[in-house]
Amino acid sequence: MATSTKDDDDGHNFPEDLAREILVRLSVELSLLLFKCVCKSWCTLIKSSSFISDHFHYNKNKRRSQLLIVYDCCEDIVDSGSMTIVSEDKIGETSLIAKFDHDLQGQGFGDLSNLIEEDNSQREDNCSILSFDFDNDVFREIGGPDITPYNYNHLDLTSLILLDDSIAILNSTESVYDIWVPFNALPIL
Amino acid sequence: MASSSSSSKTGLKKMLTLKSSDGDEFELEESIVIQCQTIKHMVEDGFSLIPLQNVDTKTLTKIIEYMKKHAEKTESNKEEIKNFNKEFVKGSFDDQFELVSAANYLHINGLMDLLCQSIADRINNKSVRAVREIFNISNDYTPDEEEKVRDEHKWAHEGGEFDESLD
């Protein structure tokens, strides 16, 4: 029998290792969330923690906002400690930082919804999240996920987490965990 | 004729022969071919005739074109290489898939990266239907199952226009 790697049958299954090489280069919000619907094996691949991890590291240096999807396996990625601050105001007005708690570090999660609720004058659409650089005493605003026309407000977001050396926002709905990694945030040193 | 000088020059260089799955042979300088990790390892094992059962003549010709060009890479011709790369990825999806499959088998990292990035750029923002067509993947979901997966990130499906074209 002839050995051929392609077009062996009607299925013409696209090799998964090649699909992976291509998919890891796609943007999550433009493509990967849709392409889960292409077929079951792509869905399994895109949801797998090894793919999520590869995708994260591949795109880490691209300097654009990324969304990672994690399914019931977030403890694989979620490390400890978060040093991020919530404020209702724009960057610069650092005196109005609602709360910062050193104890967040090491706990794994800072519960964003609690921090927001403490300030009851807060409106959904003018929340912002700041990162703080301890070495330089600098705050920087972390933008929300950039997806139009979908309105993603910070009150939907449940937790701040530390993903490798980046701040990330974890949002869970039922079995789906979305992790937003805003790359304009200062890295945690 | 200038051939005497060039032949004496090539005489100093170690030559290798690549043989495609169609049986065609291509003689190339070792320095060009060792961009390809698979062949490099075979050369280290002492082979000088390299049979490539998974790569047909058409694909191998393109790959040799790539390796020759990239062997010329210097500090001063970056722009030229960039333009070459741009032309190189212009083929149909099927041609690109043949090439990427061969580049993967041969372990030519630069070519792999070039092709995968180009394919990714071309399918970003394509519709699910178009992607199935392009990759020749049949939909193995039942309508209910597909609806469920779609609902996980419904907003992503509602985010505007998707590209239905197949090229």
Residue with tokens 């178009």: B130
Question: What integer pLDDT is reported at residue B131 of this predicted model?
Answer: 96
Nearest to A31 among B105, B116, B124 (CB): B124
Burial class (CB in 10 A: 0-12, 13-18, 19+), B81: middle
CA-nearest residue to A10 within chain B is B136
Tens of pLDDT, residue by residue over A139-155, are 555 555 555 555 555 44
User: Could you tell me the CA-to-CA distances from A8 to A11, A12, A152, B22 in Å, in that order?
Assistant: 8, 6, 46, 17
Nearest to B116 among A25, A34, A42 (CB): A25
Inspect the interface and report whether the beta carbons of B153 and A33 lie closer than 8 Å.
yes
Question: What integer pLDDT is reported at residue B146 of this predicted model?
Answer: 95
Question: What integer pLDDT is reported at residue A90 of this predicted model?
Answer: 27
Burial class (CB in 10 A: 0-12, 13-18, 19+), B131: buried
Tens of pLDDT, residue by residue over A170-187, are 665 555 666 666 554 444
Distance from CA of A75 to the nearest CA of B (A): 20
Question: What integer pLDDT is reported at residue A35 of this predicted model?
Answer: 93
Query: Over 50: is that where the pLDDT of A163 sits?
Result: yes
- Kindly give the residue spans of alpha helices, DSSP state H, lying in A68-137: 74-77, 112-117
Total-model pTM: 0.69
Question: What integer pLDDT is reported at residue B86 of this predicted model?
Answer: 95
Question: What integer pLDDT is reported at residue A104 of this predicted model?
Answer: 31
Interface with chain B: mutation pick from A12, A16, A17, A22, highest number of B CBs within 10 Å: A22
Side-chain half-sphere CA neighbours of A8 within 13 A: 10
**Per-residue pLDDT band at A160 (split at 50, 70, 90):** low
Element (H, E) at B25: strand B25-29
Contact A151, A165 (CB under 8 A): no
Give B118's strand partners. none
Helix (H, G, I), strand (E, B) or coil at A161: strand
Least confident of A112-121, A130-139, B19-28: A112-121
Which residues, at least 6 apart from A126, have a Cβ–Cβ distance to it below 8 Å?
Answer: A88, A89
Query: Over 80: is that where the pLDDT of A110 sits?
Result: no
The mean predicted confidence, pLDDT, of chain A is 55
Residue with tokens 């961009």: B35
Question: What integer pLDDT is reported at residue A28 of this predicted model?
Answer: 78
> Which segments in chain B show pLDDT lower than 70?
1-12, 159
CA-nearest residue to A172 within chain B is B152
Query: Over 60: is that where the pLDDT of A100 sits?
Result: no
Query: Over 80: is that where the pLDDT of A97 sits?
Result: no
Cis peptide leading into residue A149 (ω within 30°): yes
Tens of pLDDT, residue by residue over A25-79, are 988 767 888 899 999 999 999 888 778 778 877 776 554 444 554 443 333 333 3
**Structure-model confidence comparison of residues B154 and A82, the more confident one:** B154
